[in-house]
Amino acid sequence: MAKVRLTPELMAMRAAQELPEGAVVNLGIGMPTLVANHIPPDRLVILHSENGVVGYGPFPPEGQGDPDVVNAGGEMATLKPGACFVHHADSFAIIRGGHVDVAILGAYQVSEQGDLANWMIPARGIGSIGGAADLAAGARKLIALMEHTTRDGQPRILRRCTYPLTGRRCVRLVITDLAVIEVTPRGLLLKELAPGWTAKEVQELTEPELLLAPDLRAIEV
């Protein structure tokens, strides 16, 4: 079977499966915003964005958006029936106060303990923390949606993060282009593999030792 790395769109489709009916969900900028387009229309998921909207929907058709309705990536969004706006202090009360059920964030690195590094590349010497640290502290379940390796093939899932942390012990699930991995008290549990990949091959691209789930299976989207 040909080895395939999941495209960002397929990763977003897999991540959308993690959003239960009725969940309040925050999608970080970048790849996570794609998840909004893959939530089944019959599932009520309430999307919250830091810039003060509760209940936004998929991207509008090209040229039809409203600059006063944007997501946290500055991209124009649509409103679902029942949407509302809040100011920034309330928006972060929603986050910090534990009212977000699931947050999906991009990541540079995730550690074996679930530490998240997603705001600063040390070599650049300056970085943007945005709302990520608040989400790391406040979301009930944090999912990291990330490429499994760096551009030159080095692991991004590490024993210890080498980049400055966004939050400590906050990531619960990692969805990459190669695998779905749960952060457990015993260690990282490999649950799903991209089509054509073996556990051994994914382990070679992952620094900490992976535990294998009894029902290890292929990612289905």
Q: Are 89 and 134 in contact (CB under 8 A)?
A: no
CB of residue 46 vs another protein: minimum separation in angstroms? 15
Q: Determine whether 182 is an active site residue.
A: no
Say which residue the tokens 């999307």 belong to: 47
Distance CA 41, CA 45 (A): 9
Minimum CB–partner distance for residue 119 and another protein (Å): 8
- Minimum distance from residue 130 beta carbon to another protein (Å): 5
List all residues 6 or more positions away from 194 whose beta carbon is below 8 Å from its beta carbon.
Answer: 3, 4, 5, 6, 177, 178, 179, 218, 219
For residues 149, 155, 157 and 159, what is the CA-based torsion angle, rounded to 10 degrees?
A: -170
18, 21, 50, 220: the catalytic one is: 50
Are 143 and 102 in contact by the 8 Å Cβ rule? The answer is yes
| Sites of contact with another protein (CB under 8 A) | 29-30, 49-53, 66-70, 72-76, 85-89, 91-92, 95-96, 115, 124-134, 136-138, 164-169
Name which of 122 and 196 has its Cβ closer to another protein: 122
Taking the least distance from each CB to another protein, the nearer of 167 and 190 is 167
The smaller minimum CB distance to another protein, of residues 162 and 198, is found at: 162
Contacts of residue 63, defined as CB under 8 A and 6 or more positions apart, other chains included, come to none
Question: C-beta of 174: minimal distance to another protein in Å?
Answer: 19
**Nearest to another protein of 55, 208 (CB atom):** 55
Residue 58 vs 85, nearer CB to another protein: 85
Backbone angles phi, psi at 124, to 5 degrees: -80, -25
Longest alpha-carbon distance in the chain: 51
Q: What is the enclosing helix (H) or strand (E) of 137?
A: helix 132-138
CB of 6 to another protein, least distance (A): 22
Question: Tokens 């944007």, residue?
Answer: 70
Helix (H) or strand (E) segment spanning residue 81: strand 79-85
Catalytic residues: 50
